[in-house]
Chain A
């Protein structure tokens, strides 16, 4: 069974600063995806970034980037130039690709507060 662990329940960062959220996972699968989702107070789940496990290059999306360490099963999210709108819960998620399921397995989340 796959597990996703986020060891930081809460974090805070000053506006315009950089913050890194940690995520580790455990799996015996070879083909999988990793995601970071943002859940603002509205509770709408918003995809921030995704990483295919077969790609060595770390994914980037504007101010968001990941540090994907496959051997260590680590998938951290770096937010640069933090903005007040980044305040939200952030969930790391795993999905095995090619199986019959296709559902996401989530970590417990990290509550990020961006302070002015």
Chain B
């Protein structure tokens, strides 16, 4: 079964509102998780690194005040898109940090955000 669970799978919100996306590790303690964004027919681009108990690290060009990340526990990281606009519509995916014996990163199911 899935070791990383992401919720919701899809969400439609009005422009100007905020949306929270949750990423849960189901059977391990995740001190680090990653948030990616994927535009249609494009690849995954790293947005930020979520660190348990400390501030997230954002990639260049990603607005930290728009994409708020909270990692308050070892099993939950959240991404909040604040004051959403239509250009924020995208597919957002979280993953854990691959470890040596893990075989590779586990990804959440992804969240399709549509801002109208």
Chain A contact residues, CB within 8 Å of chain B: 33, 35, 37, 42-45, 47, 50, 91, 95, 97, 101-109
Contact = CB atoms under 8 A, between A and B. Distances in A.
Contacts, number: 54
Contact of B98 (A33, A106, A108): A33
Interface of B: 32, 34, 38, 42-46, 49, 91, 93, 95, 97-98, 100, 103-105, 107, 109-110, 112
B100 A97 contact: yes
A interface SS class: loop
B30 to A, nearest CB: 11
Contact of B34 (A91, A103, A107): A103
Contacts of A37: 104
In this complex, the member of A35, A43, A44, A103 whose beta carbon has the largest number of chain B beta carbons within 10 angstroms is: A103
Nearest to A47: B104
Contacts of A35: 104-105
Contact of B43 (A97, A102, A107): A107
A97 B43 CA distance: 21
Nearest to A50: B104
A106 B44 contact: yes
A96 to B, nearest CB: 11
A101 B100 CA distance: 14
